[in-house]
Amino acid sequence: MIMKTILITIFLALSLLACYSQNISLTFSSLRPGDSSPITFRADRPLVFDQAKAFGGKRNLALSQYVPLYIFSPGEADSGRKEMANFIASLSPSPQGGRMDAGGLAAYLKKQFGIALSPDGAALLLGYPGLQNLLEGMTAIETSVSQSLILKEPGPLGGKATAEVRYPEPMGTVVYPAARFLTVKKAREVLHKQAEKIFWQVDKKVLDQVSAIASATLAPNLIYDQKENERRIEEIIQRYPSNVVHYDSGQVLVPARKVLTEADEPLLAASRDAEQRDFHSSVCWVTLAILILTLLYDRTLSTVSGKRRRGGQSHSIHFSVLTLSILIFEASMLLTPWPVYFLPIAFVPLVLVLLGQSRGSAACTTVMAAIVAALIAGRNIHSLLFFLIGGLTALLTSGKIRKRTNLLVPCAVAGAVGALMAISFSLDWQGLWQAIPARLDAAAWMLELPGLALVRDGGWAVAGGLVSAPLAVVALPLLEFGLRTSSTFQLSGWTNLEHPVLKELLSRAPGTYQHVMSVANIAQAAGEAIGANVALLRAGIYFHDIGKMSEPAYFTENQAGGSNPHDELDAAQSARIIIDHVNKGLRIGKKAGLPREILDFISQHHGTTILECFWDKAKHSGSETRPMEKDFRYSGPKPQSKETAILMIADASEAASRSLPEPSRAAVEAVVRHIIEKRIDDGQFDECDLTTEELARVRVSLVDALSAAFHSRVSYPWQEEAGGGGRLVAGKD
């Protein structure tokens, strides 16, 4: 009772912790961009995340602060200086002795530089005596100004602190302050101011015209990298999207070990805010629900399991498997980025079946595990249905698992059913139905379905089903060791007739060995008739009489028609020897390392029955000392499970049937019925969950098996000659 209470308490605490572990982590951890996410954060409930509202300010700030990129391209500036050089050359006298007149100069400037110059202005310019030197000096100023970072328009540079310029290799990309950049307009102003400082003595009208010509040839040496800058802007927009995103319950927000970005922080904050809005009411109803469900589950498990083995051992197994499954589910939720469809719900029924639990009790635990998994994974009807159907499918298809490869069948079936469920949840059924009147082409419907999402969800469901098998195989040894119980796989090892204890039994007590084999054969049919754990039943029967090896001659099956040593003993001594084979068997079994389930068969196969023959002998011995009934009863305990109860009936029925002179079916049935009724009257089945209906099926199965084993056969001619009379004899062919 104490162990059961402890297990229930651990289960309750772990269930609540699993439901709110993410919320606790979000509340007490101060995660910032650049930190690594310690766990996988998921949506506890359907979450609507308005990215425009959450990221709008950051996106605008990032767009205003992004660094534009320009490409250094001096080609146009070089071309302008060449034009200036050509202009200076055109002013020199030609070899023929001619020189450009005022009209030609005005036309030239209009055509080459787009400068409208009046004839008087052109004449003034041509008449300036130092024009050639002035133009060359202006070219030098232009070359100096051209060394600056000149761009056509400020454009994206407005409001920026820096900008990048990409030069040809090996110089590469260089970052400059925004103040270093000049527009063409600003560069021309700089050129004009420098010209005024240097050529202050030149006639202002002439200087202005020359400055205008130089300015016309001054060109930008930077080109705005449209493609790269658009990519950078798109990267910012992608980093701070402006969509309204809907997250389903259990959907991953941030996977474990991901380095958090600026976009993750508001998403986690939105999830935390959504959870904290009704945190207190959520905790209250979830706690109350888990508590009530646990009490109902415990009561239902007691009803379904009955007084199953070892007074609460079944409860310990079920609550331990439940607790372990929660740890597995929570680890999958917190440490992996995989969808909730991957949770291995089939693990629970598989482990319980392998540990020899009844299908009814395994179904109760599977339902409880599905409910808790749904509370952990999203608290919605889809999750509950997915886990319920997947777990019960695995239970119903588990069948007889004898080898580890047999586990793949229920896992695969559960995975396939889970995949169908996951796909059905992902389909847009409303849109599909609306499309039916408008389009009758089924292939066209399928092309419009979100194929990748369907394959992904279905694939994870199949993977979750298949991974249940290796998880069950890994968990079995831990549960066997911690609960001191045996699985189907371990029990199969104890049914190996090459076991040293069984070989010793055959050597020292061959009659008992044959009796054990006979009892195992007839009891197996009875066990199968009522759905008992046949593997456990057979293993227990093989070892239940190993205590008879110590003094085999005192047991009838080993006397082979010889003298009976009990004839020389009083009833009490004989009773002690017979009863003591149970204690001796326990000592041998413990020394051989037999599991507790098999040791129970040794201690319980006689229960607290009385040795009738020796008790009757003691009562009629004429001794002055009145015999005590307790001295002639086995110490028990009474059978605690269906399996040990079947052994009690089969053991006595097999021995009694051998003594029948004519083992007809009616005689065998009378013997079996008598033995069962005697055990019922003696209260031997009061502590096990064997029902009246099951007792009836056990009786019929044992009668069928014993009648087949001991049926009379026609004797051979040589037997008739030897024995005379051609009578029917019982025995082996």
Tens-place pLDDT, residues 273-307: 887 787 788 889 999 999 999 999 988 888 876 54
Q: What percent of the chain clears pLDDT 90, i.e. is strictly above it? A: 36
pLDDT tens readout for residues 666-689: 999 999 999 999 999 999 999 887
Supply the pLDDT for residue 559: 81
Question: Selecting from 3.30.420, 1.10.10, 1.10.3210, 3.30.1490, what CATH number does the domain 499-701 have?
Answer: 1.10.3210
pLDDT tens string 256-278: 998 988 778 888 888 888 877 87
Q: Rounded CA gap, 192 and 727, in Å?
A: 143
Mean pLDDT of 22-31: 82
722 or 121: which carries more pLDDT confidence?
121
Tell me what the mean pLDDT of segment 484-502 comes to. 86
In 3D space, the residue among 573, 520, 510 whose CA is nearest the CA of residue 544 turns out to be 520
Nearest Cα to Cα of residue 117 among 251, 213, 241, 248: 213
Q: Are 237 and 10 in contact (CB under 8 A)?
A: no
Query: Quick check: 16 pLDDT over 80?
Result: yes
**Contacts of 582 by beta carbon, 8 Å cutoff, 6+ apart:** 547, 602, 603, 606, 634, 635
Whether 466 and 394 have beta carbons less than 8 Å apart is answered as no
| SS3 assignment for 56-74 | HHHHHHHHHHCCCEEEECC
DSSP-assigned letters across all residues of 445-469: HHHHS-HHHHHHHHHHHHHHHHHHH
Q: What is the mean pLDDT of the chain?
A: 85
DSSP letters for 125-170: HHT-TTHHHHHHHHHHHHHHHHTSEEES--GGGTT-SEEEEEPSTT
Contact in structure between 348 and 363 (CB atoms under 8 Å): no
CATH 1.10.3210 location in the chain: 499-701
Q: Cα separation of 145 and 153, whole Å?
A: 17
- Spatial distance between the Cα atoms of 248 and 212, rounded to a whole number of angstroms: 68
The predicted model gives 466-489 an average pLDDT of: 88
Which one-letter amino acid corresponds to residue 199?
F
| Residue 574, Cβ density class (10 Å: 0-12 exposed, 13-18 middle, ≥19 buried) | buried
Question: What pLDDT shows up at residue 309?
Answer: 44
Encoded tokens for 484: 């001191």
Residue 624: phi and psi, rounded to 5, are: -70, -25
Q: For residues 207 and 194, what is the distance between their CA atoms, to the nearest angstrom?
A: 11
The answer to whether 174 and 71 have CB atoms below 8 angstroms apart is: no
Question: From CA 284, how far away is CA 474, in angstroms rounded?
Answer: 36
Q: Give the closest residue to 87 by CA, choosing from 41, 136, 123.
A: 136
Residue extent(s) of CATH 1.10.1760.20 domains in the chain: 282-489
- Predicted confidence band at 731 (pLDDT cuts at 50, 70, 90)? very low
Tokens of 311: 């007074």
Residue 197 and residue 192: Cα distance in Å, rounded? 9
pLDDT score, position 95? 57
Q: How many angstroms separate the CA atoms of 95 and 74, rounded? A: 34
* HSE (side-chain half, CA atoms, 13 Å) at 427: 15
How far apart are the two ends of the chain, measured CA to CA in Å? Answer: 54
- Entry field: residues in the chain: 733
Measured between alpha carbons, how far is 731 from 718 in angstroms, rounded to an integer? 16
CATH 1.10.1760.20 fits 282-489, yes or no: yes
